[in-house]
Amino acid sequence: MAEKKLGIIRRFFRFIGKIVTAIRYLFSLFFVGFFLLIIVGMFAEDIQPIPDKGALYLAPSGVLVDQKTFTDPFDQIFLGSSQRDSETLVRDIIEALDSARNDSRITHLLLDTDYMAGGGISKLEEISSALLRFKKSGKPIIAVGDNFNQQQYFLASHADEILLNPLGAVSITGFGTYRSYFKEALDKLKININVFRVGDYKSAVEPFLGNNMSPQVKQESRELIDSLWQFYSSQVEQLRGLPDGAIDDFANNLHFKLQAANGDSSALAKEQNLVDQIATRTEMFAYLNEVLPGTDGEFDSINMKAYLNHSRLSSRSSAAAKAHKVALVVAKGSIADGEQPEGSVGGDTLAGIFSSLRDDSDVKAVVLRIDSGGGSAFASDIIRDAISATQKKGIPVVVSMGSYAASGGYWIAADADRVLALSTTLTGSIGVFGIIPTVENSLAALGVYSDGVGTTDIAGMMQLDRPMTQQSKMIFQAGVDNVYTRFISLVADGRNSTPAEVHEIAQGRVWTGEKALELGLVDQLGDLNDAIVVAAELANLEEYKVDYRRKPLTVYEQLLMEMNTNVSASLSGLGVSSLLPVSLRQQAAGILKPLQILDTLNDPRGIYLYCGNCPL
């Protein structure tokens, strides 16, 4: 008997059922594969052993930072290594170098700067100190690169040998500070910018007041970049054995020199003794096989991340016996009110971290690493108050300044028990400003007007569609003046000075760490490790462990971060860098970038301690 043919409705639903079943199987396979990646990733980073004799391969990626910018862990899984590797912690590099110089298994340092995007002269200075300590061990440093930009070359100049690709170049152009000015554009848009400030050198608001740099700020900027350039050029000349003025001559006459070299940049770099060998990648690899220890004709090496995993594992057992802690807290980025993710400084976030430190009986000292040009005056004082409360419990607080600790960054540093800066740190900028835009003229040009009534003359002072009255301007200026008075008094108390003396070096002026030491704004020059030693001395600690404290993560965030790390490690081992194509990742980054600055200026009173001249 023939099978009865199914009706069209039953066939349709059977077809839908098969699709649902297929989707269910696909999801099952996806989740099984996903968790297999997690399991494999748990062991992926521990696979590479330290060779009996080999090189430490140091290849910093992205920007050198004191604290990595927070990215949602779930997003990282899909954005892949492009986001994860966009920043490298300076302290990781220094820790690896200091461990490797005393490790008999590490015979050489292989430095590859091709993946490094930059990070500022102070970050380079700190790594430079670690490289010089490594060199004292007698272990050779070899630097390789397809090209060397100015910051990459500073690190490469520490090497005993520098190898450059034949189609590469050493690009040294000098330092400069340039910015855009919007006054004419604002006038055309009929936007009124009401500025309130104290300090002739408080340059953060200058782009709204004119179309060029004021003479006083231009003079200050010239002095700053000349000082930093002197440090850079003299260090490179000393490291490479070049005559005084050689780097200036190379940069200022590059057009003539390159023309004489028939446009061959690599040949010019070798002629100027900036590099030692010109070699293709194949030739570089062959040379490294000759000079580095290895097996089966190939040199042995271990990358920084794997090496740190091994060295930290071995150091945990000795550190576990040490009960006393020196806590390390990082304040990196713009200072904003409330809770903020890592990569920004939240007033409530940092205050909460200090509160937890006060409740930890094992914490005997705190090192606050500041890498911030300031921001909200209110948030800065919330942090200062939390630091003061910690000191009152008998816990010394030592500040270590990074690339810059200025304006609000200096506000939170001034009361510390000891302040250390690098010679190239930018600090000071003791000044205050407020900025209120109004758009009444812009709206009027469109036929939109504001009108109404209020119970007082200042009832509408915060409406951006109305012009600021004279009373409103006086109120805002009085608030700015008051915060400046508080600022110089705070500095005077913290630095054993007087408000009048502080005012002489304040007014928004920015200083290098070396000059700040002369002026009494810092106590000594030194890096993060020096600050940790000072903190231990102030707490009378002979044995201690460094405890890096960060913003507490939720259980959900911790789980996703662990999953992200393991999945990323597995995908990397399989040669897959991301679950999204590069083009889509770049588009996503471009779309999301504007959202990152929406909350940076959120002071409740609109009063800011921000150094506009710091990120040179």
Predicted pLDDT of residue 592: 42
Position with higher pLDDT, 133 vs 570: 133
Q: Which residues are catalytic?
A: 202, 407
In a domain, 44, yes or no: no
Q: In the predicted model, is pLDDT for residue 257 greater than 90? A: yes
**Average pLDDT estimate for 164-192:** 92
Domain final residue, candidates 309, 340, 362: 309
H/E stretch holding 235 reads helix 215-240
Examine the domain organization and report whether 238 and 157 are in the same domain.
yes
- Does 184 map to a domain? no
The predicted pLDDT at position 594 comes to: 38
- Beta strands, E only, 28-134: 54-58, 62-65, 87-89, 106-112, 116-118
pLDDT band at 582 (very low <50, low <70, confident <90, very high): very low
Strands 161-164 and 106-112, bridge-based pairing: unpaired
For residue 205, tell me if it sits in a domain.
no
Note whether 359 and 388 are same-domain residues.
yes
Residues 225 and 372 in one domain: no
pTM of the model: 0.83
Question: Do 303 and 57 form a contact (C-beta atoms < 8 A)?
Answer: yes
Q: What pLDDT score was predicted for residue 601?
A: 58
User: If 0-12 CB within 10 Å is exposed, 13-18 middle and 19+ buried, where does residue 499 land?
Assistant: middle
In a domain, 35, yes or no: no
Q: Give tens-digit pLDDT for 177-188.
A: 888 888 999 899
List the end-to-end C-alpha distance of the chain, in Å, as a whole number. Answer: 89
| Dist CA 33 CA 576 (whole Å) | 14
Based on the fold, state whether residues 148 and 238 are members of the same structural domain. yes
- Give tens-digit pLDDT for 209-219: 889 998 998 99
Q: Give the torsion sign (CA, 187, 189, 191, 193).
A: negative
Q: Is the residue at 99 inside a domain?
A: yes
Element (H, E) at 484: helix 470-494
Segment 260-319, tens digit of pLDDT: 999 999 999 999 999 999 999 999 999 999 999 998 889 999 999 999 998 888 776 555
Nearest to 495 by CA among 516, 510, 473, 471: 516
Please report, for residues 177, 292, 295, the alpha-carbon distance to residue 298 in angstroms, rounded to integers and kept in the order given. Answer: 45, 8, 6
Domain end, chosen from 274, 309, 344, is at 309
Percent of the chain surpassing pLDDT 90: 62
pLDDT score, position 580: 42
Instruction: State the chain's mean pLDDT as an integer.
Output: 85
Co-location of 116 and 218 in the same domain: yes
342 and 273 in a single domain? The answer is no
- Are 493 and 550 contained in the same domain? yes
**Do residues 353 and 265 both lie within one domain?**
no
Residues 372 and 485 in one domain: yes
Tell whether 12 is covered by a domain: no
Query: Per residue in 204-247, pLDDT tens?
Result: 888 888 899 989 989 999 999 999 999 999 999 999 999 999 99
pLDDT tens, position by position, 57-71: 999 999 999 998 876
> What is the average pLDDT across 430-440?
89
User: What is the residue range of 239's domain?
Assistant: 54-176+214-309
More confident residue, 368 or 20: 368
Q: Which residue, 282, 309, 336, sits at the end of a domain?
A: 309
What are the structure tokens assigned to 92, written together? Answer: 């990781």
In a domain, 206, yes or no: no
How many domains is the chain partitioned into structurally?
Answer: 2
Q: What would the mean pLDDT of 81-86 be, rounded to a whole number? A: 57
pLDDT band at 554 (very low <50, low <70, confident <90, very high): low
The answer to the question of residue 406 being in a domain is yes
The confidence score (pLDDT) of residue 607 equals 78
Q: Which range (157-171, 224-238, 331-345) has the least confidence?
A: 331-345
Whether 258 and 397 map to the same domain: the answer is: no
Instruction: Say what the pLDDT of residue 163 is.
Output: 98
**Residues 131 and 271 both lie in one domain:** yes
DSSP lists the bridge partners of residue 608 as 376, 433
**Mean pLDDT for the stretch of residues 443-450:** 92
The DSSP output letter for 156 is H
Same domain, 362 and 286: no
The CATH number covering residue 340 comes to: 3.90.226.10
Position 318 scores a pLDDT of 58
- Identify the band that residue 596 occupies on the pLDDT scale cut at 50, 70 and 90: very low
Q: What is the CA radius of gyration of the chain?
A: 28
What is the reported pLDDT for 165?
97
In 3D, which of 218, 223, 191 has the Cα closest to residue 203? 218
